[in-house]
Every structure is written in C-alpha cells, then in structure tokens.
Structure 1
Amino acid sequence: MTCHELAKRLQTLAPELSPIDVARLTLMILTQTSDSDLLSNESKLMSAWKNASFRLEAASDQHAAVADELDQLCGDGPIEFSPDQLWLLLRAVKIQGQLLELYTDQPALA
C-alpha cells in the first residue's frame, strides 16, 4: 500500500481528520508497519491507526508539558542553572528525541 492509498483510506474512514492529521498518521503508520500490504485488512489498519494515534497523543502531551516548563524557565531571566532546571532541559531533549523516533522509526541520539 502506498502513502497516497493509505491517506485516502484514512480520510474515508474519518472524514473529520484534517489533511495534516491524515499526513501525520499515514507517515507514522507506514513507518511502524513492516508489511504495508497488511494494512488492506480493515482490522490491521484500525489496530495500526489506534497505536499510532496513542503514541502521537502521548508524545504531544509530553511535548506540551515540557514546552510549558521551558517557557517558564525562560521567563526567569539570566540566572545560574539549578539542578532541577538542568533536568528539565535534559527531559526536553529526550522528548524531542522521542518525537523524532515517532516520525522516523529510527533511534534518536537523545
């Protein structure tokens, strides 16, 4: 199954999805599926879709939380970093690595 075919199927199954959501899910489903021909089976597609949606939602939630913490950290002005602030920065790097892994299905260096 090609990327275009999968995107058409996803839009047919869920017409309320925006084109950006369809593109995201299509990319994630195809990178996480070893044999894209299996996606022609409705139950396999739904399972892959749920898995990709869950992973994307979890990563998005983590990203939003860390982005908020980083925003608060930036508001503190130029100060010496405390150990807690350094851990926050390390978490932010780790979250960014997880997002890269979601889209590329390759281990990130973070």
Structure 2
Amino acid sequence: MTCRELAEKIEKLQPDASPQDVARLCLLLTNSHRDVSALGDLVELQSAWRQIGLRLQLATDQHAAMTHELEELASSDPKEFSQEQVWVLIRAIKVQSQILQMYVGHPLLDV
C-alpha cells in the first residue's frame, strides 16, 4: 500500500480531515505497522486508527499537563530547584520522547 492509497482511505473514513491531519495519520499509522499492506483491510485500518488515536490522545494529555508544570517551573530560580522540580524536568523529557517516538517510528533512548 502506498501513502497515497492510505491517505485516500483515511479521507474516505474522515472526509472533513485537513491535509495536515491526513498526513499525520499516514505517518503515525505506517510507523505503527510493520506490514503496511495490512492497512488495506478496512477492519484492520479502523482498529489501527483507534489505537493510534488513543495513543495520540494520551500523549497529548500528558504533554498538556507537562506544559503546565514546566510553565510553573520556568518561573522559579533554577539554582533553587527541589528534587521534585528535577523530576518534573525528567518527566517532561520522557513525554517529549514518547511523542517523538510516535512520529519517527522507532524507539528512542530510554530516558
């Protein structure tokens, strides 16, 4: 299956999707499946789409929560960081790596 064919299937399933959303879904779906030709099956495509949607929603929610924590952290003096504030930074790095991993399609270094 080519990216164009996958994009056409996505557009049929979600006709109101923007070109950016279709491209994003193509990338996420192809990165999550070793056998991209399996996505030609409508049932398999819908299942993969739901799984990717859930993973993306989870990552988005985590990112939003982490952004809030980082904004609070940015207003404090780095010289005075507590152990908890350092853990906020570490969690932020993990969240960012999870999102990046979804888009590049292979595991990154385990932080």
- Provide TM-score, normalisation by structure 1: 0.92
Gaps of 5+ in 1: none
Gaps of 5+ in 2: none
Equivalent runs, 1:97-108 vs 2, <5 Å: 97-108=97-108
Equivalent runs, 1:1-110 vs 2, <5 Å: 1-109=1-109, 110=111
SS in 1 for 2:80: coil
Give the letter for the 1:98 counterpart: Q
Deviation (angstroms), 1:105:
2.3
- Structure 1 residue runs of 4+, over 4 Å off? none
SS in 2 for 1:76: coil
Q: What is the RMSD computed on CA atoms of the aligned residues? A: 1.3
Moved more, 100-109 or 25-34: 100-109
- Provide TM-score, normalisation by structure 2: 0.91
Q: Which has the higher contact order (CA 8 A, sep 6+)?
A: 2
Deviation (angstroms), 1:82:
0.5
Count, aligned residues: 110
Moved more, 70-79 or 28-37: 70-79
Distance in 2, Cα, partners of 1:90 & 1:37: 38
Deviation (angstroms), 1:49:
0.6
